[in-house]
Amino acid sequence: METVVLFADISGFTNVSEACAKHGIRGNEELAFCINRYMEGMVKNLAKFGGDIIKFVGDAMIVMWPRSKWKKDDPDGNDEEEKINVIRKSIQCACDIQKEMNNKKIMANVTNLSVKIGIAFGKCALLYVGGVFERSEFFTVGTALTYALKSEEQATAGGQIIVSDTAFRYVKN
């Protein structure tokens, strides 16, 4: 399927987890509280823009806007205008996340956190694997995910959004 993929990775989380580890069990509770409050802020923004959280990956998340959520009147996927609208929606979502979450102070003794975001457009598949020993999992594969990950890696610090050329070429005007 064609989709927009947003990959968001919290910047500064390693420092927070190391600081919390010094407090033993209380530190673990603080760390869980901290990551939950930060992710909660990101999830609220994603909900406003219709992104589907596919997976939490440690202090990161994979989000998709699959074609099935686009306009229903174009089953063949030829509607360029709708493609552009969905890509713009994902970029606006990322901007709103940055506006609200960049350098956000979650707890008094925790340094400010921020997030690096990569966005891409392309083909992706959501796979269901497992089923043995009552264990199964969904995971994502495809070029859109690959380019979103590569885009996020190019961010040098939290607070940045990198849009892959796979998405940028549709919205550059």
Is the pLDDT higher at 31 or at 150?
150
Local structure of 102: helix, strand or coil: coil
- Where do the domains of the chain lie, and which CATH numbers do they carry? 2-171 (3.30.70.1230)
Q: Is the confidence at residue 25, as pLDDT, over 60? A: yes
pLDDT confidence bin for 13, thresholds 50/70/90? confident
End-to-end C-alpha distance for the chain, whole angstroms: 25
Q: Is the confidence at residue 155, as pLDDT, over 70? A: yes
Identity at 48, one-letter amino acid code? K
Residues 6+ apart with CB under 8 A from 20: 27, 28, 30, 31, 34, 110
Reported as a single tens digit per residue, the pLDDT across 86-117 is: 999 999 999 999 999 888 877 776 667 899 99
- Among positive and negative, which fits the CA dihedral 15, 18, 22, 24? positive
Reported as a single tens digit per residue, the pLDDT across 60-92 is: 999 999 776 666 555 555 678 888 899 999 999
